[in-house]
Amino acid sequence: MVVNIYDTANEMEEQMNKTQEFTALKKAFADMQADPDSMLLFTKFQSKQMELQKKQQTGQQPTQDEIKEMQDLAQQFSAKPLIKNLMEKEQAMDNMLQQLNEIITGPIRNLYNSVMPNPNQDKDQK
């Protein structure tokens, strides 16, 4: 039997668009985009975050001023109700994706667990 796992993945993509978590995330993102102050802060935060990540990838460390600026932005970021709501919806989406990942990677985990000693087995025998 030939299984096309990519068909299943494409089906999951379609279903993901219909989940409560994604629908809530999409609405929270649209709400945030509709507020110019929140959107400006969001893009500023994202840009600064990417800038610092690129710097770290090249082996450079952020300066104290850059760290302070990022901390200030993060504080402003979390104080905006629309952005805070977006982050909560992202977290819910991330939780769902982690659960799905656990399910999808189950066969691999089971394969390796089949040869790994059970740590509880020693406790039971004592």
pLDDT of 40: 95
Domain assignment present for 67: yes
The mean-pLDDT minimum among 22-26, 46-50, 118-122 falls in: 118-122
Q: Cα separation of 13 and 22, whole Å?
A: 11
What mean pLDDT, rounded, does the chain reach?
Answer: 91
118 within a domain of the structure (yes/no): no
From residue 73, alpha-carbon distances to 78, 82, 88 in Å are 9, 15, 18
The pLDDT-based confidence of 114 (bands split at 50, 70, 90) is confident
Domain for residue 109, yes or no?
A: no
Q: Both ends of the chain: CA-CA distance in Å?
A: 46
Range of the domain at 66: 19-97
- The count of domains in the chain is 1
Q: Is residue 53 part of a domain?
A: yes
- pLDDT bracket for residue 123 (50, 70, 90): low
Q: Supply the Cα-derived Rg of the chain in whole angstroms.
A: 21
User: Mean of the pLDDT values across residues 25-29?
Assistant: 98
Average pLDDT over residues 49-57: 92
The answer as to whether 24 is a domain residue is yes
In a domain, 113, yes or no: no
Residue 28 lies in a domain: yes
